[in-house]
Structure 1
Amino acid sequence: MFPETPAAAAALSVARRFYSPALINHCVRSYLWGAMYAAAHRIAYDDELYYVSALLHDIALTEAFDSHAVPFEAAGGRLAWVFGTVAGWPAERAARAEEIIVLHMREDVSAATDPEAHLLQVASSWEVVGRHAEQFSTGARAEMLARYPRLGFGRDFLASFEDQARRKPDSAAAASVRNDLATRIAANPLESPSLS
């Protein structure tokens, strides 16, 4: 189900140490939704690289790693670069983890251009605001949330983004808040009480 490599195990350890239960479940679900989407669309991707990026993509929303100066995705990307370097990855691979995390908050990236960033964009936008709902069956949703419940993720995520927006008004998080993030989270089918 998950890649069995030292870097993958270390990423899970980092996530368990610093994320809330709701945030770690979100990151695990993001990996699994992306893998499910890739299988359905026959998208080839680097499983370990995608897993590590998915697990670390929100690390800079945590108190321990929140940056006062840069958007959370940029700070998280830099931390992923450090993580990859310490894990012994070549410089280009560590840089790819940074790029994937930064790009997940940018304009859509095609699977042909960057499969891992594309998968993280699809999965995280589905997770947060319900985008791409047609890609994930009701049965898959129920099974996923039974294994990895949301635990108030939508509420907590909105609070994190509102905090980011107040402190970093030019960030992508602030743009999301201005684009009625609260309403979009509330309308996400994954927020339905019958699924959580």
Structure 2
Amino acid sequence: MCNETNAIADIGGVTIPDSALGRAATEFVRDVSTPLLFHHSSRVYYFGAIAGRQRNLRYDPELLYVGAMFHDIGLLESHSSPDERFEVDGANAARDFLAGYGITQQDIDTVWAAIALHTTPGIPGHMHPVIALVTAGVEMDVLGLTYDRYPDDIREAVVAAHPRPADFKTGIIDAFYDGIRHKPETTFGNVKGDVIAMKDPAFRPGNFCSVILGSRWD
């Protein structure tokens, strides 16, 4: 559980929404999460929102913030189902959270999709800005794919506000593994299969062609 306070920093013109919804999302995730995941999710918001400003995209900051903060909630035991992808668990948690704030179903569906698709490369970038920017933030903070698109002072300010520990690379892989190790079959067809394969030498990932060839069809 992360009990740290969360100072709202203005970085590149981006701040965490200082609204009832924004504050509630911060408190919810801080109360159930680990420091590593809480600060990672906060950085995802900043990097995603800054990418949105760079691309001149229009979006609701509250929806982007909830999408970013809840995107890894499904890794936590308190919000993990026995047989759904962790992305879906996180999307469901965000949906339940937003339902109490008078958010339209369309906006709830947008946040749901942003979380559910954040580990599916090549698709989110063509969708609603909230969906695209959650993935953009994740790809920056975890994979560093767009590292050079963020000026040094912006990167440093984000990390100063929400620290990225020296062992974050191995720490986030461990967090992924701990969150999905009990349901490795849910990694079929997505990038988290690589996590299981790295941590468990006995793991044999599902194979799309084998499913086709082994089906009941003649």
TM exceeds 0.5?
A: yes
| Structure with more of its chain in helix, by fraction | 1
Residue equivalent to 1:12: 26
* Per-residue deviation, 1:166: 5.9
Residue equivalent to 1:85: 99
Q: Confirm or deny: 8 A CA contact 1:7 1:87 kept in the other structure.
A: yes
| Equivalent pairs, count | 181
Q: Confirm or deny: 8 A CA contact 1:84 1:93 kept in the other structure.
A: no
Residue equivalent to 1:168: 184
Structure index of larger Rg: 2
Structure 1 residues 155 and 25 mapped into 2: Cα distance closer, same or farther (>3 Å)? same
Q: Confirm or deny: 8 A CA contact 1:76 1:101 kept in the other structure.
A: yes
Give the secondary-structure state (helix, strand or coil) at the position aligned to 1:169.
helix
* Per-residue deviation, 1:112: 5.5
* Per-residue deviation, 1:165: 5.0
Residue equivalent to 1:177: 195
Give the secondary-structure state (helix, strand or coil) at the position aligned to 1:70.
coil
Which amino acid counterpart does residue 170 of structure 2 have in structure 1? R
- Percentage identity across aligned positions? 25
* Per-residue deviation, 1:178: 6.7
Q: Does 1:120 align with 2:120?
A: no
* Per-residue deviation, 1:7: 1.6
Give the secondary-structure state (helix, strand or coil) at the position aligned to 2:80.
coil
Q: What is the CA–CA distance in structure 2 between the aligned matches of 1:12 and 1:86, rounded to whole Å?
A: 15
Cα RMSD (Å): 2.1
Give the secondary-structure state (helix, strand or coil) at the position aligned to 1:64.
helix
Q: Does 1:67 align with 2:81?
A: yes
* Per-residue deviation, 1:77: 0.4
Which amino acid counterpart does residue 67 of structure 2 have in structure 1? S
Give the secondary-structure state (helix, strand or coil) at the position aligned to 2:79.
coil
Which amino acid counterpart does residue 127 of structure 2 have in structure 1? T
- More off after superposition, 94-103 vs 151-160: 151-160
Give the secondary-structure state (helix, strand or coil) at the position aligned to 2:134.
helix
TM-score if structure 1 supplies the norm length?
0.83
Which amino acid counterpart does residue 169 of structure 1 have in structure 2? E
Q: What is the CA–CA distance in structure 2 between the aligned matches of 1:37 and 1:58, rounded to whole Å?
A: 20
Residue equivalent to 1:157: 172
* Per-residue deviation, 1:69: 0.9
Structure 1 residues 174 and 2 mapped into 2: Cα distance closer, same or farther (>3 Å)? closer
- More off after superposition, 75-84 vs 90-99: 90-99
* Per-residue deviation, 1:161: 2.1
Q: What is the CA–CA distance in structure 2 between the aligned matches of 1:167 and 1:130, rounded to whole Å?
A: 27
Cα shift readout 1:34-70 (whole Å, capped 9, x = no counterpart): 1111111211112111011111111111121122211
Name which of 11, 17, 35 aligns with 2:49. 35
Residue equivalent to 1:194: none
Q: What is the CA–CA distance in structure 2 between the aligned matches of 1:88 and 1:154, rounded to whole Å?
A: 37
TM-score if structure 2 supplies the norm length?
0.75
Which amino acid counterpart does residue 121 of structure 1 have in structure 2? T
Which amino acid counterpart does residue 153 of structure 1 have in structure 2? F
Name which of 16, 21, 28 aligns with 2:35. 21
